[in-house]
Structure 1
């Protein structure tokens, strides 16, 4: 193998080990179906509003931060934090961004491959076999957005063996109307992602147990543009070295 190519591959491997992309923001552009309510937040936005997610990654982990006003005890109805749902084959909601996916619910929306339990930090895989049995849904009741997946049914789904993903509640709000953050770290290997040289399309979802506000969205890991820049740099380096060698 040409020495220049070997050097470029070595540099690429080193960069792959340390690369961290700029945060990608998923704004709350999802309403979802449920009840007869078609707005974004059902109830008091100072309690239930989710503004956005921020997603970053490195060579080993995906980091997801959910920015929300909600904290357990913010209302008198005993609603809880939901779980983080992950799709590893892209994000396919029902409907369009123009209608804020207003007809999307568990019957027609994305099927999730994983869920990270916010309470225990355990990661569960969700099978297509008996899919619905592995989910906990919102509702019934007038204070809920109905038929939205809110958490994983830990008695039916399968815990990922040896997983190291986790949830961090240290940044949650404690004041009504003041946003806080729920942070998740997902080990890429736990999600079956082993090769970051290939862009992987992911879907993400989070809500509370009442689903009074829901956020869903898609990202790519890594972003194709990041590696295009790196490869352009490697090509320039190789050409530069080749020209220098010829001059000598």
Structure 2
């Protein structure tokens, strides 16, 4: 019996470790609809470029890191950090990867279930009712990519009660042309994920309030490889008991 318990603990430890180190990198393959642009970035890439986001998770939290040149004060136009949008039913942009989702905007793309306010670290639940009223959109200035979600309208949205999610700006860039990182921690329970044995399809979106560059992407938590490892561990444990 002691041997079986030890084997069970070893399998559990291996699976837990695998879950804790899972990381997904989402490269910026999204343009979105709006004004014409030169490649991916509208304007100066040294100021507005987003290169990628990294998503990791453990048994309690998701950790989302946005890698971008942008910082408040990088230009003279007063643009701010945008908010992190989260979908808990998958990622469904309009268009295709081959055209970098160049037809996607707030009218036809993903409807996000949550938004984490970068400036206050407050998490908001977005309702399907009056969805547009709960968003702040880019535009209508002539130098902006129009009709892209950039932040949450906190006066029209519902803050998640007792939420513990947060935003961290300690790693942002302070030099034009230098890559920095904006870090978010999302408590799984805050966004309704309570059972990691069942994969959940997620989507994420971020931009500055100008939307000169936007990143979106999706993933599954846990990733299929983790689920396979969990199943392998259970099978191995069953065989050892026999």
Note closer, same or farther for the CA distance 1:108–1:8 as it changes in structure 2 (3 Å cut).
farther
Aligned residues: 241
Distance (Å, rounded) in 1 between the aligned partners of 2:70 and 2:144? 15
What pairs with 1:59-98 in structure 2 (closer than 5 Å)? 59-98=59-98
What pairs with 1:28-177 in structure 2 (closer than 5 Å)? 28-37=28-37, 39-177=39-177
Note closer, same or farther for the CA distance 1:8–1:86 as it changes in structure 2 (3 Å cut).
farther
Distance (Å, rounded) in 2 between the aligned partners of 1:78 and 1:202? 31
The DSSP-based 3-state class of the residue aligned with 2:21 is coil
- Structure 1 match to 2:191: 191
1:225 is displaced (CA, Å) by 1.3
Higher deviation after alignment, 135-144 or 212-221: 135-144
CA contact 1:32–1:38 (8 Å) conserved in 2: no
Question: What residue ranges of structure 1 are gaps of 5+ in the alignment?
Answer: 243-248
Deviation track 1:14-66 (CA, whole Å, cap 9, x = no partner) reads 66766313320000000000123373100000000000000000000000000
Normalization by structure 2: what TM-score? 0.93
Higher deviation after alignment, 181-190 or 36-45: 36-45
1:173 is displaced (CA, Å) by 0.2
Cα RMSD (Å): 2.1
CA contact 1:16–1:59 (8 Å) conserved in 2: no
Question: What residue ranges of structure 2 are gaps of 5+ in the alignment?
Answer: none
The DSSP-based 3-state class of the residue aligned with 1:167 is strand
Normalization by structure 1: what TM-score? 0.91
The DSSP-based 3-state class of the residue aligned with 1:56 is strand
* 1:21 partnered with 2:30: no
CA contact 2:30–2:100 (8 Å) conserved in 1: yes
* 1:212 partnered with 2:215: no
Deviation track 1:199-222 (CA, whole Å, cap 9, x = no partner) reads 000000000000000000001111
CA contact 1:5–1:238 (8 Å) conserved in 2: no
CA contact 1:4–1:238 (8 Å) conserved in 2: no
Note closer, same or farther for the CA distance 1:150–1:230 as it changes in structure 2 (3 Å cut).
same
CA contact 1:80–1:209 (8 Å) conserved in 2: yes
The DSSP-based 3-state class of the residue aligned with 1:20 is helix
Note closer, same or farther for the CA distance 1:227–1:8 as it changes in structure 2 (3 Å cut).
farther
1:9 is displaced (CA, Å) by 7.2
- Structure 2 match to 1:246: none
Question: Is the radius of gyration larger for structure 1 or structure 2?
Answer: 1
